[in-house]
Structure 1
Amino acid sequence: MTAAAVATALYTLGAQAQTYTIDPSSVPIATRDGWCTTQKQSCPLLCTQISSSSTTSSNDCYPDSLTYSCVCGNGMSPNVTEFSQTLPYFICTEYGNQCVTACNGDTNCQSNCRSQHPCGAQNPVRVNTSTSSVMPSTTSGGASNTQVYNGLGGAATTTAASGKKSDAQSALDIGRSYGLAVVFAGLFSGFALVM
């Protein structure tokens, strides 16, 4: 297999990086075209998670080589590996499918194909903003802090009395706000293709 015939997707999960490769020709071109269409539809939605706009400066996908580009209008690229309905996710799941097939019925091997090669977000933030509530302020060492509970598993975010959020917290809030929209857009796209 030549280097030109191999597609590579880099998955960054924290400081850990995993590379999944498949031969593009091992997947029917119609399937690869569908993956690219969905990737290009997802890019603007994902840009809303790192900027206030869904504009993109680059949004391309190449089914022949299974490569893509997703750069938002602000010059930043979203981590598309953390989402389904993106090309890296499709490559990863196909990698798992091909691994299972190569196991020739060995159930331990098949299980390892899935468990040792996870796709998408590994530690997603579970958010249900409709049930968010603010608990009363508590005092710790003379400083007043507010704990915000999202209603899921007791997860809390503590903010200082000034009410200002850190950049990281603001980014998480944007992700929480638009994450569900991305899921519904993917489902809607799937249903539209079926119809």
Structure 2
Amino acid sequence: MGRWGIVALAALAVMGTACSPGSADDAAVGDETATTTTRTPRITDDSGRPPVTFDPCYDIPDDVMNAAGYDAAKKEIADMPMGTHTFLGCTYDNRDHIPGVRRGYGLNILSGNVTFEEERAKNGHMATETSIGGRRALLEINPADRNTCAYVLQTDFGLVIVSRLYYADHAGPAPQSEWCAGLIELVTKIESFIDK
């Protein structure tokens, strides 16, 4: 998963009290969305990097996430302004698994102004280059991060990372072949909402 992913997971631990996108701020964001085609980013930095224009908590329709098994009503904002770069984050949790019957997942979607090349230079040792919807992408599987799979999509402003933690439906870690099972379908849907 690498440094951005580790930062993301650390932020998730801290963001236990994060505000949900269902707050009063949504009314302003919703009104702005209704009157303009481009939303002003919630967070910017002073790095000179491009602003992050894809907001995973607001630009992915709730019905898409609900259909994928994530309760969009319980999504949480998990932003990470870092001065030298910015990540807008959104987390979903689906732990309603039944042992031996149904799995659960934790999902983190990060949209940041770190470049695809920076990510590839940092995590190329555990990444496979691919393409999703005609967009350059990386599939990142780090054997040290058990039960975790991530797709990194190149964007005009930087990248979008979709990282999923697999909650196995049995004791012990899941086989590595199951870490990414079915994730590509969701990533493909998410990709379609990112400006080309």
Answer whether TM exceeds 0.5 for this pair: no
TM-score (norm. length: structure 2)? 0.34
Higher helix share: 1
Which is greater in Rg?
Answer: 1
TM-score (norm. length: structure 1)? 0.34
> Which structure would you say has the larger RCO, counting Cα contacts within 8 Å and 6 or more residues apart?
2
